[in-house]
Structure 1
Amino acid sequence: MTAEPPDVNAVTALVADAAAAPSLHNAQPWAFGYLRQIGVLRLFADPERALPRTDPENRGLHIGCGAALLNLRVAAAAAGLAPVVRLLPDPAYPEFLAEVQLCGTGPPDGALAQLGPAIRRRHSSRLPFRDEGIPAAVREKLSEAARDEGAQLLFPGAWHAQSILELVRDAEESEALDPDVREETARWTHTELPHAAGAADGIPGEAFGPRQRGTSAPVRDFAVGRPVPGRGWAPFEKNPHIALLGTARDDPADWLTAGQALERVLLRATADGLVASVTSQPLEWPEIRWAVRDPVSAMAHVQMVIRLGYGPEGPASPRRPVADLLHVL
């Protein structure tokens, strides 16, 4: 027997949770269409929210949409549903990223359902973390979360972590010298404190975090040289904990996989009391992206650099209303 399709109110709640996912510059590059008669929810990329200078291949766009898809799966499992997902169901329509049959007949995924409370608690924290180690058991759970989604999470050694920090600095310098990238970043970030009234997307000034004093944690400075009233300086952790998320291949399906793995890792980290921020800066420049991977690891393509640790939660970034994201057919 086929389960009854969820009603529009239930789907609206699922999409609201999906849209709590992280995305490059908080552009929220997703849209959803619900076929209510058959209980199918479709995920689309929104090309108007692409970042052509920062993300010319739309790799980051796919990762963000993959993160939204994972949130959707978690929220559905928490609601007692067993969704069936097909990635890239129509090769002739590249913006059609996934089709989710919500009224599957199997049991809900209990491991995903347990992550439901973390969806609304997860925020990127660009604040200083404590210089405190992450227990091996916690790291293993994070690695398992990535493996469960078909990706790999690697914690690089000290020498490799230091090289990644240097690559982040190199990428930031390249960004500072590119006026088109600077303009695109400025368009999606708000230097006003508190954040610009009515803004439903982009990075608010209070989420930039303080400027770093004497340290080099891998935290993107969204101010890009612009003054931010009231923004101060602070020392960050001396030895930041860095993880690399990667995949075996590097095509749109792998980027969607990476996005789902990234969000599963972030939700697992949140549930375990960690805070995190992510950066793709050194991965956005082809001439240095290759240098981020560890040559002795089996990870072929690094998709995201993650900073993890213990410290204050970051402020929430704005979210677009579901009415702007969901079309019911």
Structure 2
Amino acid sequence: MSTYDEADLRRAAEAGVRAPSIGNSQPWLFRLDDGAIEVRSDPSRRLYHLDRDGWAVRLACGAATFNARLALAVAGRPAEVSLRPDPHDAGLIARLTPGPARPPTYAEEELHAAVPRRYSNRGPFWPDPVPPDVRARLIAAARDESGWLDLLVGMTALTAFAEIARSADRVLRRDAAYQAEQATWTHVASAPDGIPVTAGAPLAEPQDLLPQRFFNDRRRGAGRDYEPEPLVGILGVAGDRPADQVLAGQALQRVLLTATAAGLDTSMISQPIEVPAAREQLRRSLGRYGWPQIVIRFGYGTPGHPTPRRDIAEVI
């Protein structure tokens, strides 16, 4: 029977660590166990005030699992994936076992090439619209991973979402412990984790449609308002159990890499997911079956750089 080895583990981990995580906390571990690769959560890197039930950790580890799948696939060693395979082991996020060997598909190669280029761009995007065919690819990417992506069209939908997001942001700003925890994950540019202060957006202005997290005290230049009509997508899945949240992480990463491959920039908005009342309001406003898991902003922005990652030896 085919098994994975140490080279496969390292290959999977090197791609896995490039996944996004709240605060760039990187809450994942990778292990080789009886010829299978395990993706595990690292409870020491969970933001307990922000992520009270572990949703953000599971979302991040799901995204890391998708990256690991891609790395193994392009090496001709595709994986069969079991999510949350052991109900008695909450830290075990996914177990990857070797599937039948085959050459990688063009789509797998394209998405894998986007892994090191993907990053969150929190600055304002240009007014250029995202073409309809690219929008369709983003929606299909979520669907391919058993998720859904609702792109908000028109100012009525955007304004309604923005009010929910700003309301959630106001709730979180009043939570001193939450703000202190977020501050501990804002670092200098050379740190191997956390959000570099240089990666944060300029200070929010009263006229901004969407909320921004506070990372620095930099003000934007005159006339540099955030886009008046951003492309916002709400990503969700049918359920809201821990395994569903891991599934959502995989869908999130496929969408983000699809956007990167198409030349788009992205950033995530999590405030309306973090506040239960806002999340319920958002779910009802969509009028669809399932649970929103994250909000994504798409557009064309000034080029930036991926945030740092810890050494592979720390996560294996």
- Fold equivalence (TM over 0.5): yes
Matched, 1:13 2:11: yes
- Contact 1:126/1:219 (<8 A) preserved: no
| Gapped regions of structure 2 (runs ≥ 5) | none
Partner of 1:232: 219
> Is 1:208 matched with 2:200?
yes
Residue in 1 aligned with 2:310? 320
Structure 1 residues 234-283: Cα deviation after superposition (integer angstroms, max 9, x where no partner): 42111111000011111101100100000000000000011000011111
Q: Report the CA distance between 1:130 and its aligned residue.
A: 0.8
- 1:97 and 1:108 map into 2 onto residues whose CA distance is 27
CA pair 13-219 structure 1, distance change in 2 beyond 3 A: farther
Alignment partner, residue 185 of structure 1: 182
**Which whole-Å CA distance do the structure 2 matches of 1:14 and 1:215 have between them?**
43
Instruction: State whether residues 127 and 314 of structure 1, in contact with CA within 8 Å, keep that contact through their aligned partners in structure 2.
Output: no
Matched residues in 2 for 1:150 and 1:28: separation?
24
Change (3 A) 1:217 1:288: same
Establish whether residue 87 from structure 1 lines up as the match of residue 83 from structure 2: yes
Residue 271 of structure 1 aligns with which residue? 261
Give 2:214's aligned residue. 222
For 2:181, the aligned partner's letter is: E
Is 1:97 the counterpart of 2:97 in the alignment?
no
Which SS does the other structure have where 1:308 is aligned? strand
Q: TM-score, normalised by structure 1?
A: 0.89
Letter of the 1:34 partner, please give it.
L
**More helix per residue:** 2
Letter of the 2:160 counterpart: S
Aligned residues with identical type, % of pairs: 36
What letter corresponds to residue 194 of structure 2 in structure 1? G
How many residue pairs match? The answer is 311
Q: Which residue of 2 aligns with 1:257?
A: 247
Shift of 1:296: 5.4
Distance in 1 between residues matched to 2:159 and 2:299, nearest whole Å = 17
Aligned-partner SS, 1:22: coil
SS of 1:216's equivalent in the other structure is coil
Q: Which runs of 5+ in 1 are unaligned?
A: none
How many angstroms apart in 2 are the aligned matches of 1:68 and 1:217? Answer: 31
In the TM superposition, 1:67-78 aligns within 5 A as 67-78=63-74
* RMSD, matched Cα: 1.8
Q: Distance in 1 between matches of 2:211 and 2:315?
A: 29
The 1-side partners of 2:13 and 2:103 are apart by 18
2:76 touches 2:101 (CA, 8 Å); kept in 1? no
Determine helix, strand or coil for the equivalent of 2:260: helix
Cα gap change, 1:243 to 1:47, in 2 (>3 Å):
same
Q: Does residue 1:61 correspond to 2:57, yes or no? A: yes
User: Could you list the per-position Cα deviations for residues 19-54 of structure 1 after superposition, in whole angstroms to 9, with x for gaps in the alignment?
Assistant: 00000111111111113xx43111111111111111
